Amino acid sequence: MEHQAVLRHSFLGGGVWFSLRPRVLSFVRSRFLRKHSTSVKNRPKISTLCLLNESRAKVIYSVAPAMGHNKEAHPECNSRVPAIVSALEKMELTPKFRGSEIIQLQDFRIATVEDIASVHSRSYVFGLEKAMEQASEQGFIHIDGSGPTYATATTYQESLIAAGAGLSLVDHVVAESKISQSPPIGFALIRPPGHHAVPKGPMGFCVFGNVAIAARYAQRVHGLKRVFIIDFDVHHGNGTNDAFYDDPDIFFLSTHQEGSYPGTGKIDNLGCGIGEGATLNLPLAGGSGDIAMRTVFDEVIVPSAQRFKPDIILVSAGYDGHVLDPLANFQFTTGTYYMLASNIKQLATDLCGGRCVFFLEGGYNLEFLSNSVADSFRAFIGEPSMAAKLDDLGYLYDEPSIKVKQAIQKIKHLHSL
């Protein structure tokens, strides 16, 4: 491994640590490469030919399914990313059918400890690596009880791969934006998800904060000082919130279901110190749906982004707000996610040279997770939504319009929008 650090105390509250065995690391690498034909590098490597191909691309995506990170009957399972990939193939939204319009990134790096430590404490990072021995012996372990968040023998390495897949998309989108006014939208189809992971540890199914790590990477490596993060997962992205709560250069905006896990993200949580005002939390009443989100986008997200003037937009794309998702109580439809993808793409075009990368977060009904991601791809390439054929609107009921209006009015007052 890249370090020889010895951890004295575990993030699990004590215990004896052992080094990650070489055969475990070898297994993760070989299994990942064999299954996905992806050469993994430690540093970005962008060829002229790749850029020329991407100059015609509208979407570039990476796939890191973490097949070894799995627990039976757990909603955050290893079927999620393969279900999306299968849907993209079935709906002819892959390079096989679209040529250079849609590109799958086949050459991406593994995130380094330094990348992860830009957001998370080194004691947590090293502690998770050491815990892989225990996970290997037991099959899986719980590393956070509130989710609950689990780990298997491959979790550490596959989490580095997931984070690296996102960082590589940032590299490619930024490089393309230097030679094209219409760079492709990036989409990291990765797991484990990240927006609940706090600086000191895992939480809520999340291991490393993929979006937060990418934000720091965009600043450090590409000089993109002002990063605008949109989190439309149904649950509050408390980890991302905490990582940048006092930072005026990273604007974190979260819409989420009021009262849902993890119970954070109150409307008056605005940031602190010099970062006050650069955090916007908008909890919405259960039952909020397409009408609510369209209004929020126009009246809250757009003016916030316009005033902030970002250099890049990153998106925590959680699809668990779908009306048929089992873990929450919003009424989003496939069409809602098409609208969000289309509007965010336009926002990036208008404000930051089209630089925008989506990161998969939640979404636990595999059929509608897959359909909604596929419709996001359609939005990116400018094709009509298939929502009318995919959604049964008979499940919908009246939205809590008065509560939504009151929340929007309050957030506009708090942030002077």
Decide if 277 contacts 303 (C-beta within 8 A).
no
Q: What is the pLDDT of residues 214-254, one digit of tens each?
A: 999 999 999 999 999 999 999 999 999 999 999 999 999 99
What are the tens digits of pLDDT across the range 64-95?
A: 999 999 998 999 999 999 999 999 999 999 99
Least confident stretch, 30-34, 164-168, 413-417: 30-34
196 classed as catalytic: yes
| pLDDT value, residue 147 | 66
Average pLDDT of the chain is 89
Query: Mean pLDDT throughout 162-166?
Result: 98
3-state helix, strand, coil in the chain (%, to 5): 45, 15, 40
* Catalytic member of 69, 195, 196, 236: 196
The span from the CA of 71 to the CA of 155, in Å, is 11
Total-model pTM: 0.89
Q: Is residue 45 helix, strand or coil?
A: coil
On the question of pLDDT at 264 being above 60, the answer is yes
Range 251-254, long-range pairs (CB < 8 A, 24+ positions): 251/226, 251/227, 251/278, 251/279, 251/280, 251/304, 251/305, 251/308, 251/310, 252/278, 252/279, 252/280, 253/228, 253/229, 253/279, 253/280, 253/282, 253/300, 253/301, 253/304, 254/280, 254/281, 254/282
Residue 51, pLDDT > 70, answer no
pLDDT digits (tens, 9 = 90+) for 283-333: 999 999 999 999 999 999 999 999 999 999 999 999 999 999 999 999 999
The structure tokens listed for 199 are 């600086």
Confidence of residue 107 (pLDDT cuts 50, 70, 90): confident
Question: Domain limits of the chain?
Answer: 59-387+396-415
CATH architecture of 59-387+396-415: 3-Layer(aba) Sandwich (3.40)
